[in-house]
Structure 1
Amino acid sequence: MFHPLQVREIERLTDDAVAVTFAVPPELRAAFRHTPGQHIALRRSVDGQEIRRTYSICTPATDQPVLVLRVGIRLVEDGAFSTYALKELAVGDTVDVMAPAGRFTLEPRPGRFVGIVGGSGITPVLSIAATLLAQQPDARFCLIRSDRTAASTMFLEEVADLKDRYPQRFQLIHTLSREEQQAGLPSGRLDEARLRSLLPALLKIDSVDGWYLCGPYGLVQGAERALRAIDVPRTHIHEEIFHIDNGTPTAPAAATPAHSTVTATLDGRSGSWPVHDSESLLEAVLRNRADAPYACKGGVCGTCRAFLVSGEVRMDRNFALESDEVDAGYVLACQSHPVTEKVELDFDR
């Protein structure tokens, strides 16, 4: 469900990125409490067409009486929402905001944790690290981040503040891919080969309780392969993709069976509808239930996650569900196409 929230502050982070802070009124504070690492969906209408985009919350998850939500937004070429946010959005404006969602999260607990991020992938990991260090005196966090240049680096001051406040428990390794640094690591991308040699030199691998990878598809996939190569269990690796390259592989296309139908349960109500050829299950449901949950429609955010009660589907892409969720029967409705003539989904599970 969306709620109108007022923009309280807009802060320029870099030439192409801003932090937008929303004020949450008292009656909505319970709905907008978030777990570190979650995101919110923002909605606007352009020429009669609804546009939704998801942005991760960078605010620490605290119990402060005044609740605000802060997100980082980086300009995307021809981006319908990011262009609006950087060039038109103003303090005092109202934006439709969906309650926090997402499973790229860390409930604060004692242990050692590592974030490997690229570019705007810092946003959810900043919330994770700040909340963890504030709430768990026995926790440590190592942030390994990659940016193009120093000038393009988001949340420099916030990360510096973590170093100042927790010098014994927060470690920062920062590399730039297109600019030399006076100190620290040599410039260059954090690719698989570099991480395979770098990580064992920096950390005691088997002492890390959780790895949080966030950023562009190439960085996240390269980091996962590097971690698996040095024997990190898959259950210790958590991922969130921020940017999908056009060359990212998808499942082979297949025609929708003739007379295919989808039965969906949402908010306790069920219905059955036909699925048109090449149409996703989400699109079929949305034609009849405008309240069906979705945000990105790209297989990234996980907002449209549903349980496959019966039938068989093909997912084009999946960058949101963990392997254990898929094994348990969950699918992304925005990426799912029916393989059998009848498919049943449950959005309430």
Structure 2
Amino acid sequence: MTQEATPEVAQGTPRARFHRLRVTAVDRLTDDSVALTFTVPDELREAYRYAPGQHLALRRTADGAEIRRTYSICSAAPADEAPRLLRVGVRLVDGGAFSTYAHKEIAVGDELEVMTPAGRFTLDPAPGHYAAVVGGSGITPVLSIATTLLERTPEARFCLIRSDRTTASTMFLEEVADLKDRYADRFQLVTVLSREEQQAGLASGRLDRERLAELLPALLPVERVAGWFLCGPFGLVQGAERALRGLGVRRDRIHEEIFHVDDGPAPVRPARPGGVSAPAHSTVTAQLDGRSGSWPVQDGESLLETVLRNRPDAPYACKGGVCGTCRAFLVSGSIAMDRNFALEPEETEAGYVLACQSHPTTEKVELDFDR
């Protein structure tokens, strides 16, 4: 994916920052997942105001190395006031440096470094029919989206199609059941288990493109759904998007957030595709927090890595092209992105790039992290 600067500019949100927050609850959801609740001090509550679907980056230092991981907020967004509490879901990943720490060491009373909310996988509650297809821990931001929508908008409906391995591995089982009880006439729940037979409901198995293309029209009026929210592993999200596009759903009604990209052939694009050569020497100029600086790009570095060597406060979380925390506006020059799982097409068309995946294809590149 190559991109050149465009004159169209859209103003962004304030840049995320870290603050130390106290853990007030650690709830075991399944054998391999927990929910962490943080208390937000009064003086920071406005900074942690969030839209349903946004996420938090958590940071710690272990053996001299900084570790950052991003976790979605699962609770409903307060309507009229900034939040007093923040709750995120954390699923254990084999060998995961942060998730293992969260499961084995974090306790009530601990203080963690928590970044202010970020992310654009969000819904501004409004009347209408909405739907989501989620897999595994992809339920986390959608739980916030659905709960907020149903609480605030009596004219709204929400259909949740979720895929999990087994009942025992299903995160937020009680919270989703509570939604079904509270909003029986406006909340539709469909559960598919890939490794366990159910006594009632759909047969077990994976939710792939073909199955979804057949299932979705039987569940709800696809053409009248105002917004589709797809979240989870790459394969599930890609299959759901293709199924929806095949059913005639407009691209601007489909919103995606990828949680994992290792379960399918991710569309990784070369840093300099199409025969575009990297210049022998490149310089990146970055505007960050109102201050600008220019630095040479070392061989093989992403633009984020160059900026971080000189400005450690540059925003990032995953460095994998998934979370979108390092989004920046391309003011001038040309870059190539290795991959992009975070920015919507309209964002890239407007001139935004992921700094962690961007490499220069011109001698001078200018980024603005403040837009």
Paired residues for 1:235-274 under 5 Å: 235-245=252-262, 247-254=265-272, 256-274=278-296
Match of 1:279 among 288, 301, 308: 301
- Residue in structure 2 matched with residue 190 of structure 1 by the alignment: 207
Q: What is the CA–CA distance in structure 1 between the aligned matches of 2:100 and 2:246, rounded to whole Å?
A: 40
Paired residues for 1:214-233 under 5 Å: 214-233=231-250
Amino acid at match of 1:311: G
- Residue in structure 2 matched with residue 179 of structure 1 by the alignment: 196
Q: Which has the higher contact order (CA 8 A, sep 6+)?
A: 2
Q: Contact 1:213–1:240 (CA<8 Å) still a contact in 2?
A: yes
- Residue in structure 1 matched with residue 337 of structure 2 by the alignment: 315
- Residue in structure 1 matched with residue 176 of structure 2 by the alignment: 159
Alpha carbons of 1:183 and 1:9: their partners in 2 closer, same or farther (altered >3 Å)?
A: same
Q: What is the CA–CA distance in structure 1 between the aligned matches of 2:269 and 2:227, rounded to whole Å?
A: 29
Q: What is the CA–CA distance in structure 2 between the aligned matches of 1:121 and 1:302, rounded to whole Å?
A: 16
- Residue in structure 1 matched with residue 6 of structure 2 by the alignment: none
SS in 2 for 1:209: strand
Q: What is the CA–CA distance in structure 2 between the aligned matches of 1:226 and 1:262, rounded to whole Å?
A: 40
Q: Map Cα deviations across residues 112-143 of structure 1 (whole Å, 9 max, x no partner).
A: 10010000000000000000000000000000
Match of 2:89 among 49, 63, 72: 72
**Structure 1 residue ranges (4+ consecutive) displaced by more than 6 angstroms after TM superposition:** none
Q: Contact 1:256–1:277 (CA<8 Å) still a contact in 2?
A: no
Q: Residue 205 of structure 1: CA displacement?
A: 1.1
Q: Map Cα deviations across residues 127-169 of structure 1 (whole Å, 9 max, x no partner).
A: 0000000000000000000000000000000000000100000
**2:230 is equivalent to residue 213 of structure 1:** yes
- Residue in structure 1 matched with residue 71 of structure 2 by the alignment: 55
- Residue in structure 2 matched with residue 22 of structure 1 by the alignment: 38
State the TM-score, normalized to the length of structure 1.
Answer: 0.98
Q: Map Cα deviations across residues 91-121 of structure 1 (whole Å, 9 max, x no partner).
A: 1000000000000000111111001000000
Q: What is the CA–CA distance in structure 1 between the aligned matches of 2:200 and 2:348, rounded to whole Å?
A: 43
State the TM-score, normalized to the length of structure 2.
Answer: 0.93
**What is the aligned length?**
349
> Bigger CA drift: 241-250 or 129-138?
241-250
Q: What is the CA–CA distance in structure 1 between the aligned matches of 2:240 and 2:54, rounded to whole Å?
A: 21
Q: What is the CA–CA distance in structure 1 between the aligned matches of 2:44 and 2:125, rounded to whole Å?
A: 24
Q: Map Cα deviations across residues 47-82 of structure 1 (whole Å, 9 max, x no partner).
A: 111110000000100146761000000001110100
- Residue in structure 1 matched with residue 149 of structure 2 by the alignment: 132
**2:27 is equivalent to residue 11 of structure 1:** yes
Amino acid at match of 2:194: S
| Structure 1, unpaired ranges of 5+ | none
Q: What is the CA–CA distance in structure 1 between the aligned matches of 2:98 and 2:83, rounded to whole Å?
A: 27
Q: What is the identity percentage for the equivalent residue pairs of Structure 1 and Structure 2?
A: 73
- Residue in structure 2 matched with residue 108 of structure 1 by the alignment: 125
> Bigger CA drift: 300-309 or 60-69?
60-69
Amino acid at match of 2:120: R
**2:48 is equivalent to residue 32 of structure 1:** yes
**2:353 is equivalent to residue 337 of structure 1:** no
Q: Map Cα deviations across residues 184-232 of structure 1 (whole Å, 9 max, x no partner).
A: 1000111000000000111111110000000000000000000000000
Q: What is the CA–CA distance in structure 2 between the aligned matches of 1:57 and 1:218, rounded to whole Å?
A: 23
| Structure 2, unpaired ranges of 5+ | 1-16
Say what the alpha-carbon RMSD is for the aligned residues. 1.1
**2:309 is equivalent to residue 325 of structure 1:** no
Amino acid at match of 1:83: T
Amino acid at match of 2:346: D
Amino acid at match of 1:282: L
